[in-house]
């Protein structure tokens, strides 16, 4: 598409947008009495208008039914999580039984590592992206130490080449091959939180399996953002949060995926809990654990129904929008338009004032641009904030902007470009 840096062009794109009305399904923060331009859905998604009603329904059932709410009412709590798995499995490209919702992200990562990180004296290494979100670094280091290994020897981090901002897939694959004989696990993010780079999950998984190791992914920035095909790609396990692109509230409930080939793998260890026991025999209170079939067998504790209700409020909107495919189509266009406008500012000023470190190839990025400000970085970010744009600041000089297809428009993208251009002139 040939973009234009005009309000009329942006307005035309909005008029043609089949998802334009979905913005009305969310509550938007205010700035000086008007809706703010919220480009921070990669950190916390907006609140669905239905979220309060969904939780109110739970409160009503608790009031009217008390303990019977687990078995009675329109949405009995005992199987409430199963209402979410169909839509969620479509978002991550899995079968419904390969997905469940439980706990929070890092808790789930630890639980999955109990099953899939099984180091031996020969195979003990983990390969991960350099500069991964700190919680992943902490989790992996603590797991390695728990098994008696030194993280300095056991964890191999891959960084971009000197002078480059993103990882090359061939470097990732080469590193896997180099450490193949000692490799136990490859654990990557689906999308790097800082650069916005979307990794080639299929290629990484294939190379990992050839090396005789397990492949797992933290999809915190990928789930609900890009098209995933976890089952087709033969990924062993994955986990994600739901409060970013899936708009399920701060600290919202997490999800996990376990490939169906592992359902009957008796060699896998797991921590066991009552809620992961076969539902048809759970209330018989047997002394020995019999896991529920599928990912649900990794559950531990009674589901937090309020968090599930918040998650369902957002997932129902995904369903109404037709799933991840039309959302991704719009997201690619929003991000490309924002990229065009930022580059236009550089062209007008005849210098690179804003360097986009997120990959240019749409297959290698999600709905986020990470922008290095060459001068007055924090002042420019503050200028955006003062003019009603809510983005995200990362030290030392990066602004992350993430237009979300469910609630952001092309005219908002145009306005962000206009404000960035004004910042160049006014911020000294």
- What is the DSSP code string of 190-208? SB-TTT-BBP-HHHHHHHH
Residues of the chain with CATH 3.90.1150.10: 7-35+324-426
Residue 74's pLDDT band (cuts 50, 70, 90): confident
CATH, domain 54-320, list 3.40.50.300, 3.40.640.10, 2.30.40.10, 1.10.357.10: 3.40.640.10
Residue 66 burial (C-beta neighbours within 10 Å; 0-12, 13-18, 19+)? exposed
- For residue 345, how many C-alpha atoms fall within 13 Å in the half-sphere facing its CB? 25
Query: 371 pairs with which residues across the strands?
Result: 356, 399
Residue 410's pLDDT band (cuts 50, 70, 90): very high
Share the mean pLDDT of the chain.
96
Exposure string for 48-65, b = 16+ CB within 10 A, e = fewer:
bebbeebbeebeebeeee
pLDDT in tens, 217-246: 999 999 999 999 999 999 999 999 999 999
Residues of the chain with pLDDT > 90, as a percent, come to: 96
Would the pLDDT of 320 be above 80?
A: yes
Residues 292/250, Cβ–Cβ less than 8 Å: no
Q: How far is Cα 233 from Cα 205, in angstroms, rounded to an integer? A: 7
Interior angle at CA 370, CA 365 and CA 372, nearest 5: 140
Residue 108's pLDDT band (cuts 50, 70, 90): very high
Find all residues with CB under 8 Å of 315, minimum gap 6, and list them. Answer: 84, 87, 88, 91, 246
The pTM of this model reads 0.96
Interior angle at CA 46, CA 41 and CA 48, nearest 5: 140
Q: What is the mean pLDDT of residues 53-75?
A: 95
Residue 393's pLDDT band (cuts 50, 70, 90): very high
pLDDT in tens, 241-274: 999 999 999 999 999 999 999 998 888 999 999 9
Determine the pLDDT at residue 407. 98
Q: How far is Cα 407 from Cα 88, in angstroms, rounded to an integer? A: 19
Interior angle at CA 329, CA 402 and CA 360, nearest 5: 55
Structure tokens at 314: 């957002």
Residues of the chain with CATH 3.40.640.10: 54-320
Determine the pLDDT at residue 48. 98
Would the pLDDT of 8 be above 80?
A: yes
Judged by DSSP in three states, 224 sits in coil
pLDDT in tens, 324-376: 999 999 999 999 999 999 999 999 989 999 999 999 999 999 999 999 999 99
Structure tokens at 36: 């703010």
Residues 401/42, Cβ–Cβ less than 8 Å: no
Closest CA to 58 of 78, 75, 79: 75
Determine the pLDDT at residue 266. 83
Determine the pLDDT at residue 15. 98
The class (CATH top level) of 7-35+324-426 is: alpha beta
Would the pLDDT of 428 be above 80?
A: no
Long-range contacts of 152-155 (CB under 8 A, 24+ apart): 154/119, 154/124, 154/125, 154/126, 155/125, 155/126, 155/128
């Amino acid at each position: 598409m040939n973009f234009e840096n005009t309000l009329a062009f942006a307005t035309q794109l909005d008029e043609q947008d089949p998802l334009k009305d979905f913005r009305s399904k969310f509550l938007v923060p205010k700035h000086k009495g008007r809706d703010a331009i919220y480009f921070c859905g990669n950190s916390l998604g907006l609140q669905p208008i239905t979220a309060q009603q969904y939780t109110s329904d739970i409160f009503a059932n608790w009031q009217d039914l008390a303990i019977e709410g687990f078995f009675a009412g329109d949405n009995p709590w005992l199987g409430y999580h199963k209402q979410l798995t169909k839509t969620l499995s479509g978002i991550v490209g899995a079968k419904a039984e390969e997905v469940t919702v439980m706990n929070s992200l890092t808790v789930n990562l630890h639980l999955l590592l109990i099953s899939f990180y099984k180091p031996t004296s020969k195979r003990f290494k983990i390969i991960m992206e350099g500069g991964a979100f700190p919680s992943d670094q902490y989790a992996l280091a603590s797991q390695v130490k728990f098994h008696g290994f030194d993280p300095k020897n056991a964890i191999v981090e891959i960084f971009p080449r000197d002078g480059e901002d993103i990882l090359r897939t061939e470097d990732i694959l080469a590193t896997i091959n180099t450490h193949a004989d000692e490799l136990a696990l490859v654990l990557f993010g689906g999308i790097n939180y800082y650069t916005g780079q979307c990794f080639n999950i299929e290629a990484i998984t294939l190379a990992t399996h050839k090396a005789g190791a397990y492949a797992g992914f933290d999809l915190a920035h990928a789930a609900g953002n890009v098209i995933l095909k976890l089952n087709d790609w033969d990924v062993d396990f994955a986990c994600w949060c739901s409060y970013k692109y899936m708009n399920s509230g701060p600290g919202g409930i997490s999800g996990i995926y376990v490939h169906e080939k592992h359902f009957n793998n008796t060699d896998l260890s797991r921590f066991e809990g009552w809620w992961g026991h076969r539902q048809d025999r759970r209330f018989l209170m047997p002394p020995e654990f019999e896991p529920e079939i599928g990912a649900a067998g990794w559950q531990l504790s009674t589901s937090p129904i309020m968090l599930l209700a918040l998650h369902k409020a957002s997932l129902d909107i995904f369903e109404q929008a037709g799933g991840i495919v039309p959302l991704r189509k719009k997201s690619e266009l929003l991000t490309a338009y924002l990229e065009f406008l930022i580059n236009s500012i550089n062209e007008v000023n005849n210098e690179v004032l804003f360097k986009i470190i997120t990959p240019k190839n749409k297959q290698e990025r999600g709905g986020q641009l990470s922008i290095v400000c060459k001068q007055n970085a924090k002042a420019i970010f503050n200028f955006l904030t003062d003019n009603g744009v809510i983005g995200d600041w990362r030290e030392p000089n990066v602004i992350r902007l993430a237009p979300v297809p469910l609630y952001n428009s092309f005219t908002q993208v145009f306005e962000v470009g206009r404000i960035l251009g004004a910042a160049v002139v006014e911020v000294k």
